[in-house]
Amino acid sequence: MRLLRIGLLLDKVFVLDRVVERHPDLAKEDAAHAWAFCIKSMPRLGKEPEEHVGIGYDAKGRLVEVVAIRNSVGDWLIKHAQTPPQESIKRELGFGRRKA
């Protein structure tokens, strides 16, 4: 699936079948949309192959946690997605609760 974002063609995005098997409340399109519209993402250090984690919005407006790996030609493989995002992932991305 190729995604179009603000008039730009992005790399191909593939979603593993196990994502929707483990989280039937999400469709592959939801995970791909959330990845394309991440509000924050970052690489995970020390992971081989290169792994990224992000939080984005699906087409229904839900926040979705996504973990993806990138291949040598720049395409993405989403290996995990769920909604709502886990608190640990929110903290990893800097969305933790602020101290008063």
Give all strands (DSSP E) within the chain, no chain letters.
2-5, 8-15, 38-44, 51-57, 63-70, 76-82
pLDDT in tens, 33-66: 999 999 999 998 888 788 999 999 999 999 999 9
pLDDT in tens, 22-33: 999 999 999 999
Domains identified in the chain and CATH numbers: 10-92 (3.10.450)
C-alpha closest to that of 49 among 28, 13, 75, 31: 75
The two structure tokens encoding residue 9: 């063609």
pLDDT in tens, 80-90: 999 999 999 99
Mean pLDDT taken over the chain: 87
The pLDDT score that the predictor gives to residue 100 is 55
Contacts of 21 (CB under 8 A, 6+ apart): none
For the whole prediction, is pTM greater than 0.95?
no
